Structure 1
Amino acid sequence: MDIQQKLKLSQQTNQISFIKDSGLFCGLYNQSAYIVTELLHYDLKLRAKTIKKINHQVVISCGIPITSVTKRFPNSVETEWGFQLIGDFDLSCYLQWREKIISNFILK
């Protein structure tokens, strides 16, 4: 799955998308990373990276072991691309959070 597909899944406001990246881990991107780290308060290491392939857009991501997804999020449903957790998530502060994360990475 390419980065555009991952970002499209992560933009859905009614779900968290845990996207299988490698054998043992799932990646969370942009909105899904926001929901898990900010709204649900899970302490995951965030990364911000400029992706040349998508016009130098900055993507925020973090990873979580698949075993943690199934343990911490027992209502998540396995899909062909990973896991999804349907819910009603408030993304009203997402853009403010995004700018803060990006500026923190620029300052490092």
Structure 2
Amino acid sequence: MRVTGLVQGVGYRAFVDREARRRGLEGWVRNRGDRSVEAVLAGPADVVADMIAVCRRGSSGSHVDDVDVVAADACALEVGRAGRFSGSPTLCRRRPPCLRRHGPPCTAPSRP
């Protein structure tokens, strides 16, 4: 999911991290270079839906303009494979972690 609005510099990423951990979700959240926040959430569908609603409301100090939700592939979930949720700093490159040279190896099936 990608969240736009006033969502950087106001504690929004930490808010998403905390709320996802509280709900027992797996995945990750990070700031993007375009001032949006990106997150991958994995868990029971009802819990993920609740978390998306929480993200739409936002944290105090934030102002959410839009939440774009798309299905994630196995490569996007790679960062959260440890069975927990993690927050990470701003992503300057617009490539999935598994495609970056310094990121974890991607275990997703190769595409033809």
TM-score (norm. length: structure 2): 0.26
TM-score (norm. length: structure 1): 0.26
Higher helix content, 1 or 2: 1
Greater relative contact order (Cα < 8 A, sep 6+): 2
